[in-house]
Amino acid sequence: VTALVRFGAHVPELTRSVQVLLSRCASDDDDEVRDRAVLFLHLLEMKDLSVAKQFFDSEAPADPKRLVASLEAYLQGKKDLAFDVSKDLVEVEEIEDEKEKGDRKSAQNNVGGGTAANYNGGAAAGTSTAANNSSPQMQMNVYKELLGKIPQFATLGPLFKSSSASELTESETEYVVSCVKHVFKEYIVLQYNVTNNMEDQLLENITVEIESEDPDWAEEKVIAEKSIAYGATGICFVCLSRPMEGFKKENFNSGSIGNTLKFYVKDIENGVPQSVATEDEYQLEDLEIVESDFMLPRNNIRTMDFKNKWDEVGDATQAIKKFSLGLEDLQNAVDAVIDLLGMGPCDNMNEVPENARSHGVFMAGEFLSGGKRLPVLCKAGFMLDQRHGVTLKIAIRCPDVNVSQLLTTSVR
C-alpha cells in the first residue's frame, strides 16, 4: 500500500488509478492495511498533491524511541494544549539507561543460569545457555563481556557476530549440550554449554573434542570447564582458525564437525563426591560453520532505501541464480532462504500473504570477508507451482563480486 501511494503522489497521471486501488484496500482483512489505505486516500484526495509528496519525502521529526517516550509522557501529564513536536520532546537517555540495565540483568540471568563456572582458575564468571530471549544487541553485549574475561581470547580481535544456540543433544538426556558460534576475523570460538542431569555424578575437567572433515580448520585453543555439579551448567570452549590468504583461500564453510564430550566422573554418595574419578565421554550431534555465520542481518532498511542502495551498487558485481527448492509451501521456502543467507528482510517482506502463489523479498546484511564488513543486498523471487513446488530466483549485489557469487551458491 505504501509503495502504491508513492506512485500516486509523485506521478499525477496515476493518481486516479491509485485512488481506486486504495479504496479497495480499505476493505482489506488486515487492520494495518485498512488504516494505511484510509490515510493515504485522504492525502491523495487533497487538491494539492504537494502535501502527499511532503508526507513521504520529509524525515521523521525525531527518533522513534524518543517520539514514543515523548507521547507517553504527554499522555501522563496535563493535556490542555495539543502535542507540539517542537516543544514536547523529552530526553530519553535516563529512560534508556534503566531499560538497558533491565535488559542486561535479564540477559545475564538467561545466559548465566546462576551457576559459577571457572575458566583457568576463575578468569571469568560462568554462563550456561545463550541469551536467546534477549534482543540481538543485548545478547551480543553479554557474549562480549563473557569472552572478554577469558585471557586466552584477548588476541582474537573484535567480536563480529554470535549465533543463537544450536542443540547438540535432546533436552532430556543425561547431559544436555548446546553450542554458540562466535565469529572473529580469523577465528571461530565454539562455546559449548553443558548441563549435568545426573543426580549421582560430579563432572570434572569437561572438554569437547572436535573432528573436522576440512583440515583447513585448525584447532588453536581448548578451554576446559573445571567441574559441573548436578543441575548446574558450565561452559567449555574450542577456538578454531581458518585460512585468510586472499578470498579464494578464505574459508566460509567448515563442512561437518564431529563433537565428543569428554570428562571425568566422580560418584556422589550421601552428598559427597568420591575421590576416584573415572574418564568418560558422550557423543554429540555434528555441527557446521556456514556462510550465514559470517552475515549480520540488517532489519531496519525500508523498501525505498533498499531500492536506492540497490541502484547505487549496480549490476557489475551482481550474481543471479535460479533454484528448485523442493518445498511445497511458500512461507516455509521464504523462511528457509532467509535462514540460509542470514540476512534481514525489509519491511516485514518475510511474511507471505495467505493463498499467495508468488512472493518477493528484499534482504540486506553485512558480510565479513577479509576482515571487512561488506554491505550485501538481495532480491529473492518465489514462485509456487503445483507440479514442481517452489522455485527461487535470487539476485545478490555486493561491492565484491566474489561475495555475491559465494552467497548465491550458499542456498543449497
pLDDT tens-digit series, residues 105-117: 444 444 443 333 4
Average pLDDT value for the chain: 83
Given pLDDT bands bounded at 50, 70 and 90, which one contains residue 390?
very high
Q: Residues 140-173: pLDDT tens digits?
A: 888 988 998 899 998 999 999 999 999 999 989 9
How large is the average pLDDT for residues 182-211? 95
pLDDT value of residue 340: 93
- For 317-356, where are the E strands, in sequence order? 318-324, 344-345
pLDDT greater than 90 at residue 23? no
pLDDT greater than 70 at residue 386? yes
pTM for this one?
Answer: 0.70
Please indicate whether residue 242 or residue 406 has the higher confidence score (pLDDT).
406
pLDDT greater than 70 at residue 131? no
How large is the average pLDDT for residues 289-294? 94
pLDDT value of residue 37: 83
pLDDT greater than 90 at residue 366? yes
For residues 58, 63, 68, 71, the Cα torsion angle rounded to the nearest 10 degrees is: -60
pLDDT value of residue 109: 44
**Taking the CB of residue 311, how many other CB atoms lie within 10 A of it?**
10
pLDDT value of residue 98: 47
* C-alpha cell, 67: 517520539
pLDDT greater than 70 at residue 93? no
* C-alpha cell, 71: 507521547
Please indicate whether residue 332 or residue 106 has the higher confidence score (pLDDT).
332
Q: Which strand (E) or helix (H) includes residue 180?
A: strand 175-183
pLDDT value of residue 28: 80
Sign of the CA dihedral with 151 first, then 156, 159, and 162 last: negative
For residue 212, the cross-strand partners are 257
pLDDT greater than 50 at residue 94? no
How large is the average pLDDT for residues 362-368? 96
How large is the average pLDDT for residues 386-398? 92
* C-alpha cell, 151: 585471557
How large is the average pLDDT for residues 41-61? 72
How large is the average pLDDT for residues 338-353? 93
Given pLDDT bands bounded at 50, 70 and 90, which one contains residue 47?
low
Please indicate whether residue 397 or residue 79 has the higher confidence score (pLDDT).
397
Q: Which strand (E) or helix (H) includes residue 385?
A: strand 372-385
pLDDT greater than 90 at residue 9? no
Cα 105 from Cα 87, distance rounded (Å): 34
Q: End-to-end CA distance of the chain, in Å?
A: 33
How large is the average pLDDT for residues 185-192? 94
Task: Tell me the backbone φ, ψ of residue 5, rounded to 5 degrees.
Answer: -70, -25
Long-range residue pairs from 330-337, CB within 8 A, at least 24 positions apart, any chain? 330/356, 330/357, 330/358, 330/359, 330/382, 330/384, 330/390, 333/382, 333/390, 333/392, 334/359, 334/361, 334/380, 334/382, 337/361, 337/380, 337/382, 337/392, 337/394, 337/411
Which residues lie closer than 8 Å to 315 by C-beta, 6 or more apart?
397
pLDDT greater than 90 at residue 293? yes
Cα 109 from Cα 232, distance rounded (Å): 14
Query: For residue 354, what are the CA distances in angstroms to 10, 28, 357, 382, 407?
Result: 30, 13, 9, 14, 29
3-state secondary structure of 301: coil
pLDDT value of residue 133: 52
Given pLDDT bands bounded at 50, 70 and 90, which one contains residue 363?
very high
Q: Residues 200-228: pLDDT tens digits?
A: 999 999 999 999 888 888 899 999 999 99
pLDDT greater than 60 at residue 246? no
pLDDT value of residue 68: 79
pLDDT value of residue 134: 59
